A and B are shown apart, each in its own frame.
Chain A
């Protein structure tokens, strides 16, 4: 009698897993008594006479996703779930076969799409504005920029070279591109002061870009004859090999000013410490947040993360970089507004919920779930 009741209440449905690339079927059970101990899912294809074990269904959610590598799109699969109760085992077949399909659009990513559109709009609009009037877009001056002239001047007074050490990422990294803009300013200054410069590179393509940048800077300073391609060197593509090479150069050449610009990893403190030990003035700039503490401790001036990108926009006024910095500023304002509104709704909703009205709290939960 009890078995009859259990059989008549429990239902199992098999359906295509939504919002995926196919080859996956979800099996869900309904009206399962809480006394169930275990639930095993079995699968067979059309024409098969026996079921094979597909997996174990969670007895918390009564849901199982069959993403076995043998599942093919468009083919019907039949499922049976065996529910293990203390005294009995009930087998329930799915009322219809599950057929897997790929979806063109993943609805769970709608929030990402909205944010992508919003942020992209900000950036693209400001890039267009920057192209029309680069001087019209205000970026505050970064204090460390004044130190560039001071550092190169100090190097010249001491009669020592200036070192520019690139980071470890390639030309596609925004920090590396910002470093190249800063290199141009540094190279122009050393050309004016007739100070030797040595640029070390980890990446061969960055080395090529550095050579072009320095050559252009020397030409702008009216000293194309003073440019020496051999001053821009490639060391090695191995992290600590590069570090060892740069350290050796610092100790041997004893530069007056060192610029550590780009994305660094564990070698950052080794480089900064060695630079400090030779008595050089050091200006660092990196988007690697985990390396910033060491630069702050060991260097004289530091461009923290996005300050490096803003500094290069300030120097170069290049529309894409400038527009990106302004666009990301507006993105930050947008994000802060979302957080502020979320906190306000959550707080008021919580107060109202404790007074018996949970409507606003439900809205808050739905907003959180959307993201």
Chain B
């Protein structure tokens, strides 16, 4: 056993145990750790915003820069300041300008790539090609995938009641959806256990030095 002498390891270990104490029942230690975490989150975010964004990207170029184009920075600063209008009933309409710019820019950047990455490539991958049947198991797998794509899409068709052929297809679709959820849930169980294992490794190795 080789207990750590690093005070930060001790603080992390004590806070870990305080949060885990919630599993037994709510208690002041958990509440303290919860509030500390919430406060730290806000404080850390504010400091990061100040030292990683505002100072190097806005203040330093404007105050200490020499490039004449640095004054273009005043435009995004002005747009950002307009969004503070949300806190005033009289001037809350000002937020529409930065919001419109932001949504326009985001849409312009993301819609074409979303089409390519999420629709075209995936649709191409769904279309059954000769090469997909290079071996029988691969062929069966691809047919199952193809049926799943079609029936799942029909489940999310809202313009008609799910009756007749559409209803049957939607019912097959929901089976596929639930199978996918089951796989995803199983993966998540693994993820959650991994986090617990990570914390236990920290406590047993870094803090108490019991394991190698």
Contacts and interface: CB of A to CB of B under 8 A. Distances in A.
A138 interface: yes
Nearest to B46: A237
Contacts of A338: 123
B159 A326 contact: yes
Interface residues of B, number: 48
Nearest to A266: B191
A178 to B, nearest CB: 13
Given A245-B34, A251-B26, A325-B158, A371 B124 contact: yes
A247 B30 CA distance: 11
Contacts of B37: 238, 240-241, 244
Contact of B153 (A244, A296, A310, A336): A336
A139 interface: yes
Nearest to A106: B112
Interface residues of A, number: 54
Nearest to B43: A238
Contacts of B111: 116
B38 A140 contact: no
A248 B34 contact: yes
Nearest to A326: B159
B185 A293 contact: yes
Nearest to B150: A336
Q: Is the interface of A mostly helix, strand, loop or mixed?
A: helix
Contacts of A251: 26
B129 interface: yes
Contacts of B160: 138, 140
Contacts of A7: none
A107 interface: no
A307 interface: yes
B128 interface: yes
B130 interface: yes
B120 A208 contact: no
Interface string A329-348: 11011011011001100110
Contacts of B130: 346, 350, 353
B156 A306 contact: yes
B157 interface: yes
A205 B86 contact: yes
Contacts of B182: 293
A225 to B, nearest CB: 21
B41 interface: yes
Contacts of A94: none
B158 A343 contact: no
B45 interface: yes
Interface in A24-66: none
Contacts of A292: 181, 184
B75 to A, nearest CB: 20
B38 A241 contact: yes
Contacts of B188: 269, 293-294
Interface string B173-204: 00001101110110010001000000000000
B128 A139 contact: no
B162 A109 contact: no
A368 interface: yes
Interface string B139-176: 00000001001100100111111100000000000000
Contacts of B153: 332, 335-336
A296 B183 CA distance: 13
- Listed from nearest, the 6 A-B pairs whose CB atoms lie closest are A238-B41, A241-B38, A293-B181, A293-B185, A244-B34, A342-B127
Given A208-B86, A293-B184, A347-B128, 15 more contacts: A115-B115, A115-B119, A138-B160, A140-B160, A240-B37, A241-B34, A242-B38, A245-B34, A269-B192, A292-B184, A296-B178, A335-B119, A335-B123, A339-B149, A346-B129
Interface of B: 19, 22, 26, 31, 34, 37-38, 41-42, 45, 86, 99, 102-103, 106, 111-112, 115-116, 119-120, 123-124, 126-130, 146, 149-150, 153, 156-162, 177-178, 180-182, 184-185, 188, 192
7 contacts: A109-B112, A235-B38, A238-B37, A244-B37, A297-B181, A332-B156, A333-B157
